[in-house]
Amino acid sequence: MDLVAKFHDYVSNIIDEEGVYPAPGMSIDKDGKMEVAALCEPKTAFDWFWNQVTIGQSKECIFGLDRSTKNGQGTEFADVVTCVHWKEGMDDKEWDTSFRIGVINYQYEPKIVRAFDFENAFWIEKMAGEAKLFRPHFRMVVKAS
């Protein structure tokens, strides 16, 4: 399953006149089961994300936060969903830096939803800072005996 594509489709379908709320999260566990989360604020979203990564039960997860933009942020529209995606073994990096950040540029009327942009320097820096700010300082892996 392409979780990033599924997430993009989901976000595209839940945009309304108020934007994207609650913040969506999706996770695939070790058994291939999907969890869809409704996250109400940035700290809750980052806590959910890091819990997926640190408890060792998720093999991939992604979440997004609806944001308003300003000029100079490299976005096309006034609204974006900023996303953090983690996948087990991504780029052979350490668990706490093994994520990528992207944005989904969108507008409600007329409805336009762009493909993921994983090259937006402004939001990569901002979301990476937030991810590190809310990051736990250890990872616990639970193994069945």
Ranges of each domain in the chain: 3-133
- Give the pLDDT score at 99: 83
Closest CA to 54 of 99, 101, 15: 99
**pLDDT mean values, one per 10 residues, the chain (145 residues):** 96 95 93 91 90 82 96 96 87 64 96 97 93 74 58
Task: Output the CA torsion 18→78→75→96 (10° steps).
Answer: -40
- Give the pLDDT score at 94: 58
Peptide bond into 110 cis (omega under 30): yes
- Give the pLDDT score at 137: 66
- Give the pLDDT score at 123: 96
Q: What is the reported pTM? A: 0.87
Give the Cα separation of 8 and 47 in Å (integer).
21
- Give the pLDDT score at 4: 96
The single-letter DSSP state of residue 96 is: T
- Give the pLDDT score at 125: 93
Peptide bond into 42 cis (omega under 30): no
What residue has token string 């058994």?
A: 31
